[in-house]
Amino acid sequence: MLFRFIFLTLIYYSYVALAVDGWSGSSYSQFSTSQANDASILLDQLGNHQRTEKIWVFGCGTGNNLAQFYLRLSPSHIYANDISKSMIEKAKERFDDHQDITIEQLDAIDFEASSQIDLAISVHVLHWIPREKIQQLLSVVDANLTAGGKFAGVFSASKEGLPFQNCLDDLKGSNKYKNHFLKFVQAQTFYQVDELRGLLTNKGFTIEILTSTPRDKIFADFPALKGFVAQWLSEYKYLKEIDSVLSERFLDDLMQAYMKLTNQHADKEIHWREKTLTLIARKSK
């Protein structure tokens, strides 16, 4: 009995305990190695030619990537913000003793630096910015950057056609679940390369890199992949608001379908394919 209670509590805090804004700082910091690897690749692409006195990290989440930005770019100051209370609390815990890192709970579109910044950087955030807000966000990036400053980001592209998306579409449309999604609205916005190029060049940015690349990722085991999916999957977050048992069942069914379709076994490392967009743009001098 006691064992069962401890087990269920652990499951709850690993996957289920989402904050009111849909993000759980504790589960995110545990299951976001994939995003940290993408941040590292982005830094490689950025190179060290960039003068990075002041950096603005928007959508910093739990701060997983702040440490590598701090170490690899050696900025004089990092301004980091995130709209989620749960995420920002975790980030503050980690960087409490750093005078040169300012962490605030803030919508990126409300950011105003005290003096202009050299680099705006963001990892897996742009696909959470709705289409009606993206122009405003790019204007804020532009307004805060110094002339010649850079805007670098990596974020998700649509998963259309990938095995995971096929499983998700099938499951959502199945008799078992379709009635639960009648009011579902997708929280993510997937931008196309051409669309972003247009938006950025209209704002006067020069594009240095803007590519959509398939990425093959490997997760150590099944719980690692499931935990990763649980922290961003909009459908799971949506069901969680309605019924936590139903959301867990849905996630289980989805992950089983994915494993079956890709012919993988839970006791081995798991392969996962996604498409990421990488962006490096420079503000005109």
Ligand X SMILES: C[S@@+](CC[C@H](N)C(=O)[O-])C[C@H]1O[C@@H](n2cnc3c(N)ncnc32)[C@H](O)[C@@H]1O
User: Which residue ranges make up the site for ligand X (CB under 6 A)?
Assistant: 23, 32, 35, 39, 58-61, 64-65, 81-84, 87, 107-108, 123-125, 128-129, 232
| CB closer to ligand X, 123 vs 277 | 123
Which tokens sit at 128? Answer: 């959470």
| CB closer to ligand X, 64 vs 278 | 64
| CB closer to ligand X, 63 vs 149 | 63
| CB closer to ligand X, 58 vs 70 | 58
Counting every residue written for the chain, the total comes to 285
- Give residue number: closest CB to ligand X: 61
| CB closer to ligand X, 56 vs 250 | 56
Rounded Cα–Cα distance for residues 147 and 144 (Å): 10
Site of tokens 């309605």: 242
| CB closer to ligand X, 42 vs 257 | 42
Q: Please state the closest distance from residue 151 (CB atom) to ligand X, in A.
A: 15
Q: Please state the closest distance from residue 59 (CB atom) to ligand X, in A.
A: 3
Task: Report yes or no: 269 and 219 within 8 Å, Cβ to Cβ.
Answer: yes
3-state helix/strand/coil string of the chain: CHHHHHHHHHHHHHHHCCCCCCCCHHHHHHCCHHHHHHHHHHHHHHCCCCCCCEEEEECCCCCCCHHHHHHHHCCCEEEEEECCHHHHHHHHHHHCCCCCEEEEECCHHHCCCCCCEEEEEEECCHHHCCHHHHHHHHHHHHHHEEEEEEEEEEEECCCCCCHHHHHHHHHHHCCCCHHHHCCCCCCCCCCCHHHHHHHHHHCCEEEEEEEEEEEEEEECCHHHHHHHHHHHCHHHHHHHHHCHHHHHHHHHHHHHHHHHHCCCCCCCCEEEEEEEEEEEEEECC
| CB closer to ligand X, 259 vs 274 | 274
Give the CB-side neighbour count of residue 250, counting CA atoms within 13 A.
32
How many Å separate Cα 175 from the centre of its chain? 31
Q: Please state the closest distance from residue 34 (CB atom) to ligand X, in A.
A: 9
Q: Please state the closest distance from residue 84 (CB atom) to ligand X, in A.
A: 3
Q: Please state the closest distance from residue 62 (CB atom) to ligand X, in A.
A: 6
Q: Please state the closest distance from residue 23 (CB atom) to ligand X, in A.
A: 5
Q: Please state the closest distance from residue 152 (CB atom) to ligand X, in A.
A: 12
| CB closer to ligand X, 81 vs 278 | 81
Q: Please state the closest distance from residue 134 (CB atom) to ligand X, in A.
A: 10
